[in-house]
Structures are given as structure tokens and as C-alpha cells.
Structure 1
């Protein structure tokens, strides 16, 4: 299951986003359905981020109490691995740059959005994260196999002795020609 957080101060926009995203077939998401949590209050959305893990966070840019960049910037420590998307009718160059830099944005989508394009973006973001996790696991497993092979070939080769200050200790008396 993929969990998505939606944040927009306009209830009609939230309903439209929910309708659009729930139309994504689970088959497009490796058989996993979407669970959507929708919020009109950034404070409530932040509270939810403290309690649950999200696979995608999608927020409006312009909101009265807290804009999307500020919200996403506050989300980063709570959900560091969640991709962050801003969707906005306000597409000022400086706002986009701030969103990318400050909120570590994955994508900026303009309103009005095309349902098909939004769905494709969500599917790509969610499934890419799963593929990257599988690839990272495969890389770590391959590294562990190589470490074990080296250790079998030359016992102790993968062990590092350190000084109290963290420096690497080399015992030159043990080095053989």
C-alpha cells in the first residue's frame, strides 16, 4: 500500500485531487492500492506526519496560514524520504526555485493539472522509490558478499583498528613482504 498526503486549503481542490488519484489502478502501482489522507490545514497535516509515514506528500503552494514551501520544509525532518510535490496555479520563477531548493522538491505541477499527467507523475514517483529501494538492497547484498569473499581469502582484511581519536591504526610489525 502506498500512503499519500494531500494538502490544499480549498476543499474542492482536495476532492478533485482525491478523485484523480483514486482513479489510478493498483496494477499501475505493482498491485498496491493508494491510501490518501487529505488535509485543508497545514498544522493538521504536520501532526499527521509525526504519527504516520507517507510515500508521497503533495501540497498546494499558496495557502493562508503557511505556504507549501514552508510546510514541506517543516516536513523534511519528519518525513526525510518522502518525495515532495507542489501543485499550484501560481508559477512564479522565484517560487519554483525556492520550492526546489528549500523544500527539496521532487516535482512542481501547475494548476489546472491534466488528470492523466498527474496520475502518471504519481505512479512514476511512487514506483521509482520502490525500484530504488530494491536496487539499494541488491547493491548492499552484493557488497556484503564481496566483503565475505575478501575476509575468507585474507582473514582480518576487512577489520579496521582505530586510535581513540578515530585515526586508523596500522601495525607495521604485522605487515609481511
Structure 2
């Protein structure tokens, strides 16, 4: 996410050159946005493996964008790419947006690619696609929980058996023919 198209194009070129072999055989799928609201809408619809944003943008800061993305993508690593390197602002960004990494502009392509590969494969050697699959499953669990609170929880009886608590009105004296 960046408000400058030329920066997005440079990021796309650098990231698209990461060989699939460095990501567990999976091709990197890249989506770019210049509008933070559109990016947030997409975050609500699709699970991502990594979110990356510029720090300073006119409509919404990168920190605000990444902090807002936590609601729909709580477990996804977040990266700020910026030429703005104020120490206090970086610390605030790390805390507020739960940053995984801060990358300075202008970036070195090899270092940028290495950082992305490290982030995407840092989940115990899992590939980017397995991370995305887990993110998709978490996204679906969150959706189900919003739709029907408690549906994703397993209630257990003191003896460890599962408590189904079906709230059924059964007349046990009823004659079954």
C-alpha cells in the first residue's frame, strides 16, 4: 500500500522476482493499492500472508492503515516501508500497528526480498501458501463467530466429554411408534 504508483511498481518488480523455490514452491501473489479504504475492504474479503504499507500517505497513515487491518487480519505480519525514520514514530508504529518489520526507503532490492522471504517462511518452515491457508481458516472462523457467537468453541463437561447443550425440548415419556 502506497499512495505513489511508481513506488508500488518498484515494489512489485522487486517482489515478483522472488523465486518460488524460496517460498516453498509457491508463486508470490501481489496485490497493490493506492487507496487505504480499498485496501481495507480487500482485507475484509481475502486473507493475506503479508501486509506492507508506506508510512506517510495523505489520506491515512500507514500505521493507521495497518492498525485498522488488525480487525480483519489479526495474525498477518505487517511491514512499514518508509523514508521517514523518526525513532519515536517507528516505536509508536511497532506498538500500534504490531509491526513485524520496518524497511527504510530507498530499499535495497536484495534486502527487501530477503526480509519478505524471511517473514513468509518464518512460520516453522511453512510456505506462504500454507500460511495463507491458515489465515483463510482463521478468517472463516472469525466470520462464523461473528455470525453465530460461540459456534467455534467446544464446551466440555467436568469429565472431559463434549457438552452439546442443544436446548432441545424432548418429552422422554412420549410414545415412539
TM-score by length of 2: 0.71
Taking the aligned partners of 1:64 and 1:102, their CA distance within structure 2 comes to: 19
Flag the structure with higher strand content. Answer: 1
Flag the structure with higher helix content. Answer: 1
1:131 shift after superposition:
2.8
Taking the aligned partners of 1:131 and 1:73, their CA distance within structure 2 comes to: 27
Determine if the alignment matches structure 1 residue 23 to structure 2 residue 17.
yes
The size of the alignment, in residue pairs, is 134
Taking the aligned partners of 1:13 and 1:21, their CA distance within structure 2 comes to: 12
**Partner of 1:144 in structure 2?**
none
1:94 shift after superposition:
1.2
In structure 2, list runs of 5 or more residues that go unmatched.
131-156, 161-177
Taking the aligned partners of 1:98 and 1:29, their CA distance within structure 2 comes to: 31
Taking only aligned residues, the RMSD between alpha carbons, in angstroms, comes to: 2.2
TM-score by length of 1: 0.71
1:130 shift after superposition:
5.4
Flag the structure with more relative contact order, 1 or 2, with Cα contacts below 8 A and sequence separation at least 6.
2
**Partner of 1:70 in structure 2?**
64
> In 2 relative to 1, CA 29–132 (structure 1 residues): closer, same or farther, beyond 3 Å?
closer
In structure 1, list runs of 5 or more residues that go unmatched.
1-6, 135-158, 163-177
Q: After the TM superposition, list the runs of 4 or more consecutive aligned residues in structure 1 that deviate by more than 4 angstroms.
A: none
